[in-house]
Amino acid sequence: MSTLLILGGTAQARRLADSLAEQPFTVVSSLAGRTSSARLPAGEVISGGFGGASGLAAFLKERSIAAVVNATHPFSTQMSNNAVIACQEAKVPLLRFTRPSWREHSGAASWTWVADHQQAATVAANRADGGVVALTVGRQELPAYVESLRQHQVLARVTELTDDIAVQLPNRWQIIENKGPFSADDEREFLQGTSVMVTKDSGGCETAAKLTVADELGIPVIVVSRPQSPAEVATVTTSAQAMQWVLQQLS
């Protein structure tokens, strides 16, 4: 039986695996293994990484993988680059399945777009005006904000805080551990009383309520732009397109 590999760790990856459960091929979903409470997709699940591009290429050959869908987060550049190299080496077709960028969001023109987290931290420090900076950038990125925001009031929301990150953060920062999806009411509660919000262009609908609520409350939004993705990879942004590609490759 043919085997599809989905590089996951996102809701759209999980839903794709779930929707392929009845197909006459094996679906293996791979997770980085960083979140202890991850909701698991249907089918076989592996976790913990491959050991770089060469490790992934070896896995593709060993398991005779017929096609790979890279459905990792838009900011997962390392895994995405590894997938391109490994699939070229193992001669396996690769699809990038990612959420549509928030550049197309109705509020996008009013937000401050920056190139990276260092720049976001500097802009946030200037815009905070003595108030609270709300950070929704993911736990791994928090250390990039410490230098600029050490003396500021910061309210950071992460799915799960790990000790290696926690020790790098100022004691005065307030960290909320909470797993989405978040409704508009959740976001109103989170953002009420903050002066500026920083996020990254994760895109799609699932985490977009905070943007609508920030606009509604008049809170300035700073958005870190997406990293460049390898241009040569076929890319889709909807489940239907991803499904169609998979069925073409494995039928």
Among 4, 5, 10, 123, binds ligand NAP (CB under 6 A): 10
The least CB distance from residue 24 to ligand NAP, in Å, is: 24
Convert 228-245 to b/e letters by CB count within 10 Å (16 or more is b).
ebeeeeeebeeeeebbeb
Among 32, 85, 144, 161, binds ligand NAP (CB under 6 A): 32
Q: How far is Cα 251 from Cα 246, in angstroms, rounded to an integer?
A: 8
Give residues 45-104 in contact with ligand NAP (rule: CB under 6 A): 49-52, 55-56, 72-73, 75-79, 82
The least CB distance from residue 83 to ligand NAP, in Å, is: 9
Write the DSSP assignment of 119-148 as a string of letters: HHHHHHHHHSTTSEEEEES-GGGTHHHHHH
User: Does 217 help bind ligand NAP (rule: CB under 6 A)?
Assistant: no
The least CB distance from residue 49 to ligand NAP, in Å, is: 3
Helix (H, G, I), strand (E, B) or coil at 30: strand
Q: How far is Cα 39 from Cα 153, in angstroms, rounded to an integer?
A: 32
Residue 170, preceding bond cis, omega within 30 degrees? no
Q: How far is Cα 215 from Cα 99, in angstroms, rounded to an integer?
A: 21
Nearer to ligand NAP, 9 or 220 (CB): 9
Nearer to ligand NAP, 90 or 195 (CB): 90
For ligand NAP, which residue has the nearest CB? 9
Q: How far is Cα 103 from Cα 188, in angstroms, rounded to an integer?
A: 22
Binding residues vs ligand NAP (CB under 6 A): 7-10, 30-32, 34, 49-52, 55-56, 72-73, 75-79, 82, 138, 140
